[in-house]
Structure 1
Amino acid sequence: MSTDAPAPSPAGPPADIFAFRQAMHDNAQEPEGPGRNAGAERLLAEAELSGQAAFVVEGLIHLLQTYNFSSEQDKMFVPFARLLRMWDERPEDFDEEDTHRLFWMFKWVSSGMTDQPHIPLAAMEKWLAEMERRYRLAGHSERAVRQAEYHIAEHVGDDARAARAYAAWRAAERDATSDCHACELRGQGSWEAGHGDDAAALELWAPVLGGVHTCAHEPHATLAESLLPLLRLGRADEARANHLRGHRMVRRMESMRFAFARHVEFCALTGNEARGLELLAERPAYLADRGEPSSLMAYLAVTALLTRRLAELGLGADPVVGPPGAGAAGREWTVAELAAYAEREALALAGRFDARNGTAAVSAGVRERMAREPLAERLPLGLRVGRPVRRSAAPAAGAAAPPAAGTPAARPGVAELLAAARELTEARRPDAVRAWADAARAAAEAGTELPVRDRAEVAAHRAMHPDTAAGEVAGLFGTAAGLFEAAGDPGQAEVARARAAFALAREGRTDDALAAVAEPCARALALHAEGRATAAEAATALVCRARIHTMRGDGASGPADSAAEAVAAVADFAAPYADDPRVAGRVAEAHELRAELAARRGEMEPAAALYEQAADGYAAAGVPWYAVRAQSALAGIASRLGDRATAERAVRGALEHSAVHGRPAGQAGLHLQLADILCNTGRDGEGAEHLLEAALWADEAGDAADTGAWARHHLGGALLRLGRAAEAAAVLEDALADLDADVHGEGAVVQTRWWLGDAQGRLGEHMQAAEQYVLAAEIAATWPRDGARDHAMLATLAAQSLSAAELDTQAARAYERAGALWRDLGDVPALIRTLRARAWLALRPEQAGGAAGRALMADAERELTTALATTEAPGGLDAAETGGTRVRGGRRDVLLAELAATHRQTGDLITAAVGGTPHDPDESGAAAARAAYEEGLTHVVRAVAGFAELGPDCRDEYTGAQLLAAWLEADLGRPGEAARRARAVLAAYPDDDTATGTVESRRDEARALLNYAGAEAAGS
């Protein structure tokens, strides 16, 4: 719309400039987007009705700001031209701040022109020259001009000019028109990264990423820019952290499409294509908003990259969210269709830019971006993968290596596949299951009839396949048994029958299984005695019987055919054949079963020893991958016994042995188990790495809602303890979507919301934090008395967050509710802290004597006095329970410390509420202030005495109260008393004392007081 005409339906001229500024401030707090822009257009229309240039100037500036931070940046140019014309005609209508913002916005308009392909290059150069002329006449540095020149040169691909402008930009002096430090550093780092020096880029970005330099859009944009340079430098952990942190910052900001595109690109290049699809689905409008063509082009390019990756993974026909708008509304898109659309539209926009620029630089950049290859095959993020992404399976051990790129894949023949399957079976490798399936499939496709012995192996291994339905397993083993008999291998036939019986037990039919296993065991032993079955085959049948007994739950004191005796039968039979690796593996299995029985009887130490013996036995038998279950069980028992070293060693061994053959669900469980051990020993950093792996493996196993949610829950807590609040918040938000109180327990849900509230509070998101605390408190409110303390603590945290969000009324009510909960629990110190917090909240709107606040402080004093009257002896409540001042004494000392703190805060509140000082020129105001200061000093002096009585534990509280009393003495015109108190502070900290931050600041303040008091005394 044109800003030369009033916007539709203005409300009328503003009442005064202050009301108008408040209205603009309120509109600026709205979310970025068309709604906020419409508000700015309406305010400008109202300003025009006033007939006053000052209103119009400020209205235009506000409109420009809203356009610049939205998808309608193409609307900036007309209102800026009008603003500039007003400056040229009547500069006196601009105050100092308006003038500064006018020159500041030159940069926005200059860089914005490069983003609009319909603006001719000659017009851009003309505008740059005009900017340079005006800056020179106004006496401004050329730094911003050279930055704008660099932006144009870099955009059109003029590297030589861009290098000169870049050097001049960095060399020129900073002044008030220079971009903020954060934005400048982002631009400079982008130049370095774009010219191959990622390390230099990250060095430039460090102050922005570290929070030293920030602004409305930083570090948001720099976090996004840093992702690929970090990956290229092998700093994947930092890249992951910056993605989690940065995406949370930009996901609701309409003007940050270019940064959002970087996060989509990051997902496409790190094996997180499913996550990339979720990001596309978050902001479908980003595929169509044309207000800033350059960021649209970037977004389309990374969309093409992501969808190409998905198509290469075999997902081209899958549905995906596409662009909204004319011709697309209601349409269902596939990955392949969106890939073609995004590539076509990105290149079309690039062509428009190149036609304007007279170069091919933009198209070349877009093509390069769309063709990028992954920088990491698999980078776990700790977030749930929305849907599985198909990937080519790793080749089985012994299988031929994949062909080199560019050569056709040679499919192995049936004979080759059979040879590989037999080799894997001989080596007792878990891969044999898949190898026999591949051989059978190839034979079926080729119409080849397999030998009966091989058909027996195919049936047996199909029965072992984890994807085979439980009800089919026994039948498949039965088929295999018949085929083994037909092939003249009676030993293997009996093994198959024993395994069929075990399959019945796994279906819950243990009595049927015991009946079915008896004959195969007897026949296997007889065949072995006749030399027609190997010792390993007979031992295997016996192990199946022992496992069935163990599953049935028979104990050591059961009937003759009990689990213990069945296990002992394996060991007795195998003893003469200990040197046979195949038999040794069955002996290890027997040790594992004995360990399970011991653990079931509560004999944990013997169970641990047996599990360790089993694991060692599997390794000695040459099948360490079968030790995983024993090692995991050993880790669990060792943890319960407090033997963390053994637990950690065992689970690390399990992870090592399962690395090649383990399935996703097992891998998830092992990583979760190791993470628990590490986090419980204070190694949250390493624990977080394993929790990341646990979450990813759980997703791949299709267990995201159970094990995955549990892993993300713990990962969020570990990240929070590591001080990585933004990452923790992203992970915990994700975990909450899957945590179920019925599955994971109410405690897990409450803890997750608690942690999330803590993370959001550290990020300054106080309203959101309060919401999480309230939701957690609602659950805790239903718990029995043992959980009442959590309820009260959560209510207090909610109140603190509401107060930090400056929602004083809501915070006061929340503190009142929390106080009632602490009163019910009999926790007087916690109750007192809620009363003091309410007192300060009551002071905020009042500022006229602080009567309500003083009354609440008096209530706190009465509560403490009453509690002290009934507390004669130490004990019953210590500092750790209350969270208050830490003292070594019991209940009475804690209460005394809280009473001293209440007196100190009462004195502080009384003097703050008076609204003046004893030195006010107005005599009545000075007299009122003097009276308030005297009254406040009385309370602070009582605090000093109280903290002094409590001794060294309250030294910092004592010196803080002394300093407050000293300043009050000085303000009351008593420099001698002020100096005496300052010297008491210095005496409390001997010269050889550890110089912590608190100690140094107290010493410095005391010295300043002495200087001030001396000057006052000399003056009087």
Structure 2
Amino acid sequence: MSTDAPAPSPAGPPADIFAFRQAMHDNAQEPEGPGRNAGAERLLAEAERSGEAAFVVEGLIHLLQTYNFSSEQDKMFVPFARLLRMWDERPEDFDEEDTHRLFWMFKWVSSGMTDQPHIPLAAMEKWLGEMERRYRLAGHSERAVRQAEYHIAEHVGDDARAARAYAAWRAAERDATSDCHACELRGQGSWEAGHGDDDAALELWAPVLGGVHTCAHEPHATLAESLLPLLRLGRVDEARSNHLRGHRMVRRMESMRFAFARHVEFCALTGNEARGLELLAERPAYLADRGEPSSLMAYLAVTALLTRRLAGLGLGAEPVVGPPEAGGAGREWTVAELGAYAEREALALAGRFDARNGTAAVSAGVRERMAREPLAERLPLGLRVGRPVRRSAPPAAPAAGAAAPPAAGAPAARPGVAELLASARELTEARRPDAVRAWADAARAAVQAGTELPVRDRAEVAAHRAMHPDTADGEVAALFGTAAGLFETAGDPGQAEVARARAAFALAREGRTDDALAAVAEPCARALALHAEGRATAAEAATALICRARIHTMRGDGASGTADSAEAVAAVADFAAPYADDPRVAGRIAEAYELQAELAARRGEREAAAALYEQAVDGYAAAGVPWYAVRAQSALGGIASRLGDRGTAERAVRGALEHSAVHAQPAGQAGLHLQLADVLCNTGRDGEGAEHLLEAALWADEAGDSADTGAWARHHLGGALLRLGRAAEAAAVLEDALADLSADQHGEGAVVQTRWWLGDALGRLGEHKQAAEQYVLAAGIAAHWPRDGARDHAMLATLAAQSLSAGELDTQAARAYERAGALWRDLGDVPAVIRTLRARAWLALRPEQAGTAAGRALMAEAERELTAALATTAGSGGQDTAEPGGTQVRGGRRDVLLAELAATHRQTGDLITAAVGSTPHDPDESAAGAARTAYEEGLAHVVRAVTGFAELGPDCRDEYTGAQLLAAWLEADLGRPGAAARRARAVLAAYADDDTATETSESRRDEAQALLNYAGTEAAGS
């Protein structure tokens, strides 16, 4: 038995088979793993003490099931042999279900033997033959037998036999012993993908991935299997989706190590190595659990692949989580050490399999897997990683006339200092931002070569170093000062004054605007004087003036400050106007427009600011430097969005993104992608918006800004995915976003909205308890909000109640609905209160709840409250805010209340009849009489609902027809087919003039026709 197993219960053998089955059912609900296995072992021991064969049979079956879905699959073979022996000796001890399970488990044992290298190949073949013989004698199809044969042949690398078995498997008839459709399709698709036909594989998997065929472990496994085929076909969006969906499904399932390995492999092959490391850290035991050697081998192989990729990125010395056993407990691992360990262990296991099989197929497969190359260089997932892997910046674009890069496969020649200097000068002449990096490369090469650069070049190196984004703010002014001195020495006084003006601007960026204004005055005066003497260009003088103008705009507080700023900007335009044909000066004129736009925006003149930003963008383009328009385009996008001009906003931000590629700064890219996504999502284009939010999150992580821009990107991405119906992806992203969102930094509203969305996503996934937890947490934050936010608090409380009810947590749901009702009552929202009363009434009918009387009392209370509200309501009040479950009408408050009253009558009638445990046709006359009384009472309520909905007109047509159909069925059950037919015809008449075919209208028409047919048959029979 497991070392984790507690001592056998002193209570002795189970009292009866039903109690024993309940105990097994309860144990089966526990998480996969040693704890659940220990529970099954304990239950088997109790069954053995009973002396009853039936208890032992079911105990063994339960134990086999827990072993099979755990890391202790190697323990499965002995209890199965015992079970089979019991069958051979006394088959009468097995009921029909036990017999089915015995034959079903033959498949687990036959296939499971391939995963255990200590089991000889001859033993595997013997068991396969035994399975075939027993299936034939029992009259079962050979489909499961051929599937088991396929697994053996495929494992040992016998392609010819595997192909024959695969064809026979698919050709054989399905029967009760065949694997479920989902599991079969996964295996068949894996064969196709393994033989190079990814399209065929995905076609086979489509019903599983689409949810048509599912089981306890599907689509979990198929989602994992689909990742690499999708990547190979270039369907990266689907691959990302399947990774996000699939990982959530398998991350807590011990038996899914083979699928978890696929997700690690996916990360290693898509530029998500840091994400792969986090997956390894989630399940360190996966590196050591040896109960299923084949999945351990697969996991070690992908670990070796991942660590090889990381080492190739220069991260071999990074610390990682290693195996907790096999000599690894208590030690620290590096990427390189873990990689060596994983490769060694994977190949050792593969060698054991090959020695058993007499082939080299397993080792060949492991080596191929460990050596795989990326299928996508950079696939954003939208998830935060603790340690993003930083890749080198893209190379600078070659200058005009530069030598072509070497052909693929040719050794790259390292450029010399002269070449690098020439390239840097050309980029500077072209006014490209990548000149900054080019001068740094030239300076680095000169140092390595021991070459002393000319003084003019040293001036350029210093100036461009000052412009480098990695240079600390406190160093920028000093570097520009150094550059100024070098330019003076080189005989270039115009550039010297530009450098001094830029040094002054650097002081302003440090917050020292007064010092900056004092420092910039002399460079501006000298630049203008030098220009007048012909010793400085117009562009140099304009640059000095633009530095002064920027300092003023950074300082421009109050009316006088704004006036000074406007005057400084105007001075640039006045000086530059005569030289507008010079592209360098034209760029400064565009910059002046940008500053004027900024000042207009400060004054609240949005339209004027937008027009000036447009002029700036056009000016930068005309000057041949569109990449300097990024800030103006981003600002234009923001103003245009606030003005409601989504077209201009989108065009501007797209332009900013296009031109910012030259800069390639992660923080800037993150902000622009986030801005464009906001524009797109606000125009209903969530799919395209989601793509930009993925990029925003990735760039933010690379910029080290996960907790701010990254968190916002994930917050909005989760909402977009939810609106797109991609609940599993949304849940993964929103869970991730919550790790960084905080009420202090991002606002309570953002945290509440994220938890709200996450609750919605979890609810769609059927995780109702977890959804309720999110709604409750969100409601706790909203509880202290003022009245406008109080509706959110009440709505969240209602959603929590609905989730608890859907999760069959009835007592908690009833309390939650009661609390929600109190909140709605405080807000004076009668319809919402009524809906909570009706929900509580239905909950009362569930087992172990208050019962029918309590349910009817709650419905009666709802009717009384509505009647009282109607008595005090005039006919023209405003309509209450609609909540989930409410009837939607376009009238005033009174019409809303009347609709809720009709809905209450309909539900009351439904509840009364649903609570009766018999029908008017029950053979027991007493039960039939009670049912008839209840049906008549229920029908009276439903008829009142029909009348109420009819009076409200077309807005309530669907509610009217629904009530009519319920009344018709009750009439039919009460033996009045003519009345039922009349009501069915009324439903058809309600839709007679409707050319639209909604799901509701089609369903109601079909039901009404079925009622007419039924009523006609009944009438003829009577």
Q: Under a length normalisation based on structure 2, what TM-score does the superposition of the two structures give?
A: 0.98
Once the two structures are TM-superposed, the CA of residue 42 in structure 1 deviates from its matched residue by: 0.5
Is residue 414–residue 443 contact of structure 1 (8 Å, CA) maintained in 2?
yes
Once the two structures are TM-superposed, the CA of residue 919 in structure 1 deviates from its matched residue by: 1.9
In 2 relative to 1, CA 420–10 (structure 1 residues): closer, same or farther, beyond 3 Å?
Answer: farther
In 2 relative to 1, CA 556–597 (structure 1 residues): closer, same or farther, beyond 3 Å?
Answer: farther
Aligned partners of 1:729, 1:391: CA distance in 2, in Å?
28
Aligned partners of 2:7, 2:151: CA distance in 1, in Å?
34
Is residue 819–residue 831 contact of structure 1 (8 Å, CA) maintained in 2?
yes
Once the two structures are TM-superposed, the CA of residue 568 in structure 1 deviates from its matched residue by: 1.0
In 2 relative to 1, CA 752–395 (structure 1 residues): closer, same or farther, beyond 3 Å?
Answer: farther
Moved more, 907-916 or 749-758: 907-916
Aligned partners of 2:987, 2:556: CA distance in 1, in Å?
72
Q: Partner of 1:802 in structure 2? A: 804
Once the two structures are TM-superposed, the CA of residue 881 in structure 1 deviates from its matched residue by: 6.6
Moved more, 984-993 or 415-424: 984-993
Is residue 7–residue 41 contact of structure 1 (8 Å, CA) maintained in 2?
no
Q: Give CA-to-partner distance per residue, 1:648-684, whole Å, 9 cap, x none.
A: 0000010111112231100001100100000000000
Aligned partners of 2:409, 2:562: CA distance in 1, in Å?
67
In 2 relative to 1, CA 766–441 (structure 1 residues): closer, same or farther, beyond 3 Å?
Answer: same
- Is 1:449 matched up with 2:452? yes
Q: Partner of 1:975 in structure 2? A: 977
In 2 relative to 1, CA 872–960 (structure 1 residues): closer, same or farther, beyond 3 Å?
Answer: same
Q: Partner of 1:175 in structure 2? A: 175
Once the two structures are superposed, the pairs formed by residues 378-393 of structure 1 within 5 Å of their partners are 378-392=378-392
Aligned partners of 1:169, 1:25: CA distance in 2, in Å?
33
Once the two structures are TM-superposed, the CA of residue 445 in structure 1 deviates from its matched residue by: 2.7
In 2 relative to 1, CA 883–631 (structure 1 residues): closer, same or farther, beyond 3 Å?
Answer: farther
Is residue 459–residue 484 contact of structure 2 (8 Å, CA) maintained in 1?
yes
In 2 relative to 1, CA 29–536 (structure 1 residues): closer, same or farther, beyond 3 Å?
Answer: same
Once the two structures are TM-superposed, the CA of residue 401 in structure 1 deviates from its matched residue by: 7.2
Once the two structures are TM-superposed, the CA of residue 257 in structure 1 deviates from its matched residue by: 0.2
In 2 relative to 1, CA 84–991 (structure 1 residues): closer, same or farther, beyond 3 Å?
Answer: farther
Is residue 390–residue 702 contact of structure 2 (8 Å, CA) maintained in 1?
no
In 2 relative to 1, CA 104–708 (structure 1 residues): closer, same or farther, beyond 3 Å?
Answer: same
In 2 relative to 1, CA 473–466 (structure 1 residues): closer, same or farther, beyond 3 Å?
Answer: same
In 2 relative to 1, CA 748–512 (structure 1 residues): closer, same or farther, beyond 3 Å?
Answer: same
Moved more, 117-126 or 908-917: 908-917
Is residue 552–residue 561 contact of structure 2 (8 Å, CA) maintained in 1?
no
> Is there any run of 5+ residues in structure 2 with no aligned partner, and where?
none
Once the two structures are TM-superposed, the CA of residue 5 in structure 1 deviates from its matched residue by: 14
Is residue 847–residue 914 contact of structure 1 (8 Å, CA) maintained in 2?
no
Moved more, 87-96 or 441-450: 441-450
In 2 relative to 1, CA 429–148 (structure 1 residues): closer, same or farther, beyond 3 Å?
Answer: same
In 2 relative to 1, CA 368–403 (structure 1 residues): closer, same or farther, beyond 3 Å?
Answer: farther
Is residue 4–residue 35 contact of structure 2 (8 Å, CA) maintained in 1?
no
Is residue 878–residue 889 contact of structure 1 (8 Å, CA) maintained in 2?
no
In 2 relative to 1, CA 531–745 (structure 1 residues): closer, same or farther, beyond 3 Å?
Answer: same
Helix, strand or coil for the counterpart of 2:820?
Answer: helix
In 2 relative to 1, CA 890–496 (structure 1 residues): closer, same or farther, beyond 3 Å?
Answer: same
Is residue 829–residue 882 contact of structure 1 (8 Å, CA) maintained in 2?
no
Aligned partners of 2:406, 2:321: CA distance in 1, in Å?
35
Is residue 347–residue 366 contact of structure 2 (8 Å, CA) maintained in 1?
yes
Moved more, 258-267 or 600-609: 600-609
Is residue 44–residue 59 contact of structure 1 (8 Å, CA) maintained in 2?
yes
Is residue 5–residue 39 contact of structure 2 (8 Å, CA) maintained in 1?
no
Is residue 193–residue 229 contact of structure 1 (8 Å, CA) maintained in 2?
yes
In 2 relative to 1, CA 627–279 (structure 1 residues): closer, same or farther, beyond 3 Å?
Answer: same
Is residue 832–residue 883 contact of structure 2 (8 Å, CA) maintained in 1?
no
In 2 relative to 1, CA 689–399 (structure 1 residues): closer, same or farther, beyond 3 Å?
Answer: farther
Once the two structures are TM-superposed, the CA of residue 414 in structure 1 deviates from its matched residue by: 2.1
Aligned partners of 2:267, 2:402: CA distance in 1, in Å?
31
In 2 relative to 1, CA 79–559 (structure 1 residues): closer, same or farther, beyond 3 Å?
Answer: closer
Once the two structures are superposed, the pairs formed by residues 600-615 of structure 1 within 5 Å of their partners are 600-615=602-617
Q: Partner of 1:531 in structure 2? A: 534
Once the two structures are TM-superposed, the CA of residue 993 in structure 1 deviates from its matched residue by: 3.4
In 2 relative to 1, CA 110–903 (structure 1 residues): closer, same or farther, beyond 3 Å?
Answer: same
In 2 relative to 1, CA 498–879 (structure 1 residues): closer, same or farther, beyond 3 Å?
Answer: closer
Aligned partners of 1:481, 1:605: CA distance in 2, in Å?
41
Is residue 802–residue 811 contact of structure 1 (8 Å, CA) maintained in 2?
yes
Helix, strand or coil for the counterpart of 2:508?
Answer: helix
Q: Partner of 1:400 in structure 2? A: 403
Is residue 861–residue 902 contact of structure 1 (8 Å, CA) maintained in 2?
yes
Once the two structures are TM-superposed, the CA of residue 718 in structure 1 deviates from its matched residue by: 0.2
Q: Give CA-to-partner distance per residue, 1:538-585, whole Å, 9 cap, x none.
A: 0000000111111111577659754x1111111111111111111111
Aligned partners of 2:820, 2:883: CA distance in 1, in Å?
16
Moved more, 614-623 or 434-443: 434-443
Q: Give CA-to-partner distance per residue, 1:242-279, whole Å, 9 cap, x none.
A: 00000000000000000000000000000000000000
Once the two structures are superposed, the pairs formed by residues 768-917 of structure 1 within 5 Å of their partners are 768-845=770-847, 850-878=852-880, 880=882, 884-917=886-919
Aligned partners of 1:727, 1:276: CA distance in 2, in Å?
17
Helix, strand or coil for the counterpart of 2:474?
Answer: helix
Q: Under a length normalisation based on structure 1, what TM-score does the superposition of the two structures give?
A: 0.98
Moved more, 1-10 or 469-478: 1-10
Aligned partners of 2:4, 2:124: CA distance in 1, in Å?
23
In 2 relative to 1, CA 394–802 (structure 1 residues): closer, same or farther, beyond 3 Å?
Answer: farther
Q: Give CA-to-partner distance per residue, 1:932-979, whole Å, 9 cap, x none.
A: 111111111111110111111111111111111111122222222222
- Identical pairs, percent: 94
In 2 relative to 1, CA 35–399 (structure 1 residues): closer, same or farther, beyond 3 Å?
Answer: farther
Aligned partners of 1:176, 1:82: CA distance in 2, in Å?
23
Is residue 305–residue 370 contact of structure 2 (8 Å, CA) maintained in 1?
yes
Q: Give CA-to-partner distance per residue, 1:273-305, whole Å, 9 cap, x none.
A: 000000000000000000000000000000000
Is residue 4–residue 38 contact of structure 2 (8 Å, CA) maintained in 1?
no
In 2 relative to 1, CA 559–1011 (structure 1 residues): closer, same or farther, beyond 3 Å?
Answer: closer
Is residue 492–residue 537 contact of structure 1 (8 Å, CA) maintained in 2?
yes
Once the two structures are TM-superposed, the CA of residue 888 in structure 1 deviates from its matched residue by: 1.7
Aligned partners of 1:154, 1:780: CA distance in 2, in Å?
58
Is residue 434–residue 662 contact of structure 2 (8 Å, CA) maintained in 1?
no
In 2 relative to 1, CA 85–824 (structure 1 residues): closer, same or farther, beyond 3 Å?
Answer: same
Once the two structures are TM-superposed, the CA of residue 442 in structure 1 deviates from its matched residue by: 2.2
Aligned partners of 1:425, 1:395: CA distance in 2, in Å?
12
Q: Give CA-to-partner distance per residue, 1:745-779, whole Å, 9 cap, x none.
A: 11000000000000000000001000000000000
Helix, strand or coil for the counterpart of 1:818?
Answer: helix
Q: Give CA-to-partner distance per residue, 1:627-666, whole Å, 9 cap, x none.
A: 0000000001111111100000000010111112231100
Moved more, 415-424 or 303-312: 415-424
Is residue 6–residue 44 contact of structure 1 (8 Å, CA) maintained in 2?
no
Is residue 556–residue 562 contact of structure 2 (8 Å, CA) maintained in 1?
no
Aligned partners of 1:542, 1:909: CA distance in 2, in Å?
81
Is residue 944–residue 958 contact of structure 1 (8 Å, CA) maintained in 2?
yes
Once the two structures are TM-superposed, the CA of residue 443 in structure 1 deviates from its matched residue by: 2.1
Q: Partner of 1:689 in structure 2? A: 691
Once the two structures are TM-superposed, the CA of residue 399 in structure 1 deviates from its matched residue by: 7.8
Aligned partners of 1:464, 1:786: CA distance in 2, in Å?
49
Once the two structures are TM-superposed, the CA of residue 409 in structure 1 deviates from its matched residue by: 5.0
Helix, strand or coil for the counterpart of 1:205?
Answer: helix
In 2 relative to 1, CA 6–533 (structure 1 residues): closer, same or farther, beyond 3 Å?
Answer: closer
Helix, strand or coil for the counterpart of 1:879?
Answer: coil
Aligned partners of 1:130, 1:400: CA distance in 2, in Å?
72
Aligned partners of 1:399, 1:358: CA distance in 2, in Å?
58
Q: Give CA-to-partner distance per residue, 1:460-483, whole Å, 9 cap, x none.
A: 111111111111111111111111
Helix, strand or coil for the counterpart of 2:560?
Answer: coil
Moved more, 949-958 or 1000-1009: 1000-1009
- Is 1:549 matched up with 2:552? yes
Helix, strand or coil for the counterpart of 1:430?
Answer: coil
Once the two structures are superposed, the pairs formed by residues 429-440 of structure 1 within 5 Å of their partners are 429-440=432-443
In 2 relative to 1, CA 87–883 (structure 1 residues): closer, same or farther, beyond 3 Å?
Answer: closer
In 2 relative to 1, CA 282–881 (structure 1 residues): closer, same or farther, beyond 3 Å?
Answer: closer
Once the two structures are TM-superposed, the CA of residue 500 in structure 1 deviates from its matched residue by: 0.9
Is residue 520–residue 548 contact of structure 2 (8 Å, CA) maintained in 1?
yes
Is residue 350–residue 362 contact of structure 1 (8 Å, CA) maintained in 2?
yes
In 2 relative to 1, CA 350–894 (structure 1 residues): closer, same or farther, beyond 3 Å?
Answer: same
Is residue 827–residue 882 contact of structure 1 (8 Å, CA) maintained in 2?
no
Once the two structures are TM-superposed, the CA of residue 390 in structure 1 deviates from its matched residue by: 3.5
Aligned partners of 2:404, 2:119: CA distance in 1, in Å?
55
Aligned partners of 1:988, 1:399: CA distance in 2, in Å?
77
In 2 relative to 1, CA 270–400 (structure 1 residues): closer, same or farther, beyond 3 Å?
Answer: farther
In 2 relative to 1, CA 33–366 (structure 1 residues): closer, same or farther, beyond 3 Å?
Answer: same
Q: Give CA-to-partner distance per residue, 1:127-155, whole Å, 9 cap, x none.
A: 11110101111111100000011110000
